[in-house]
Amino acid sequence: MSNKIENLVKQLGKKGKNACLLMSNISSYKKNKTLENIAKIIEKNKNLILKANKIDLSNATKNNLNSAKIDRLSLNEERIKDIQDSLHDIINFEDPINKIIESRSRPSGIKIKKISTPIGLIGIIYESRPNVTIDAAALCIKSSNSAILRPGSESYQSCSALFNCINEGLIKTGLPEHLIQIIPTTNRTAVKKLIQMTDYIDVIIPRGGKNLVKLIQDTAKVPVFAHLEGIVHTYIHKDADPKMVENLILNSKLRRPGICGALECLLINKTFFHKYGLNLVNKLLDNGVEIRGDKLVNKIDGVKLANDEDWGKEFLDKILSVKVTDNLKKAIEHINKYNSNHTDSIITKSKNIANKFFSEIDSAIVMHNVSTQFADGGEFGMGAEIGIGTGKLHARGPIGAKELTSFKFIIEGKGVLRK
């Protein structure tokens, strides 16, 4: 069985690599036409997609998936419309390929241009989120990359239905059929083979839970753009406006508790806490949030005492850890100790305090007086994202079409000889 899966993945790799090479002369018009066709095909097949999603949701309920995963897994007409909208957003972006990044002439007489190129064949491994199937495919098509998709078993029916729309769109427009492929098995051996296939795969992008990402980082031979868990903090400074705080915290936590930009740990300056903390915590409790607080917050009725594991934890649920800090310095120390370099936020009236927070917090996304739910490529005007890069090499923050590029140098001259 292992050899059969290895051969299967190897064949996908060969086809994907060849498809990527065929993209070198494909026009922006043709790439955009493909995305337009995919959007139309999704509309045509909307009922089939929703039917497939019902199968996944039924299985998820039987397998006791938590509410956050079920929320990410769920499709409805509105979410399908969002998927189509993201395709149209990507169509409207400038083509990121063959752009001159730098150019200069040297005293020797050579002219140097640095231009953007596709990365190549990208392996994308993801859990629960059917929309990633379209986002990943569309961004790869736009950036002339090829992709091998490996959705999780819990979303396999939904992702396969969406993949069929992609495949039909590629064929209809005349792009290489194997530009976007899906691994036709949920056997986990396929993941291991994919992340070690250095002959064909140029980069792996994992998007899922901590265990999935860690497994891939520990065992991959192919370079990885890691999307780690979203251990998202917000610090409330002593001068923050209490009404703004209430609105931002409720939205950051409750709009969609199961996404990676949802607030997971709230840090409150002690001066603010003594004035407004009771009202804020009670507001969260009234909205069904389970509060796990430090000893001071625990004095409020209904709050559970936090343990060591509650700091630095991604709950992906209506659970929030809350801690009172003496000052900004202590808040920054706490965040840099426990965060996952994803997204962290401050609420303050002071631009100077915010700038200090910006310079000392080591995260891909840092915010000031903004709901952390804006940690999203679509909200950044990128149309869609494959994930939030939490590493520091190449792609960091939302990974869109531009982040799926590399570069090469083009050197020109008129018979220039080196002395």
How large is the average pLDDT for residues 334-343? 93
Query: Looking at residue 69, what is its pLDDT?
Result: 82
**What pLDDT digit, counting tens, does each position of 353-391 carry?**
999 999 999 899 999 999 999 998 878 887 677 778 877
Strand pairing class (388-389; 397-398): antiparallel
How large is the average pLDDT for residues 75-99? 94
State whether 54 and 171 are in the same domain.
yes
State whether 30 and 54 are in the same domain.
yes
CATH number of the domain within which 284 lies: 3.40.309.10
CATH number of the domain within which 39 lies: 3.40.605.10
State whether 17 and 82 are in the same domain.
yes
The answer to whether residue 122 scores a pLDDT higher than 90 is: yes
The answer to whether residue 2 scores a pLDDT higher than 80 is: no
State whether 352 and 402 are in the same domain.
no
Strands (DSSP E) found in 106-231: 111-118, 121-126, 146-151, 180-182, 203-207
**DSSP 8-state class, residue 376:** S
State whether 205 and 298 are in the same domain.
no
Residues 6+ apart with CB under 8 A from 251: 371, 373
Q: How many CB atoms lie within 10 A of CB 89?
A: 17
State whether 213 and 281 are in the same domain.
no
Q: How far apart are CA 126 and CA 181, in angstroms?
A: 14
Residue 305: inside a domain, yes or no? yes
53 closest CA partner among 87, 28, 77:
77
Radius of gyration over alpha carbons of the chain, in Å? 23
Query: Looking at residue 1, what is its pLDDT?
Result: 64
**What pLDDT digit, counting tens, does each position of 105-117 carry?**
999 999 999 999 9
Query: Looking at residue 111, what is its pLDDT?
Result: 96
- Number of residues assigned to the chain: 419
How large is the average pLDDT for residues 16-24? 93
Query: Looking at residue 144, what is its pLDDT?
Result: 97
Query: Looking at residue 217, what is its pLDDT?
Result: 83
Residue 179: inside a domain, yes or no? yes
**What pLDDT digit, counting tens, does each position of 262-287 carry?**
999 999 999 999 999 999 999 999 99
How large is the average pLDDT for residues 313-319? 92
In this prediction, residue 72 has a pLDDT band, given cuts at 50, 70 and 90, of: confident
The answer to whether residue 337 scores a pLDDT higher than 70 is: yes
More confident residue, 189 or 383: 189
In this prediction, residue 28 has a pLDDT band, given cuts at 50, 70 and 90, of: very high
The answer to whether residue 154 scores a pLDDT higher than 70 is: yes
Q: How far apart are CA 38 and CA 384, in angstroms?
A: 15
Contact 49, 76 (CB under 8 A): no
The predicted model scores a pTM of 0.84
State whether 215 and 262 are in the same domain.
no
Residue 110: inside a domain, yes or no? yes
State whether 120 and 222 are in the same domain.
yes
State whether 10 and 138 are in the same domain.
yes
State whether 45 and 118 are in the same domain.
yes
Q: Which domain holds residue 397?
A: 2-227+386-412
Residues 6+ apart with CB under 8 A from 256: 71, 262, 373
State whether 246 and 129 are in the same domain.
no
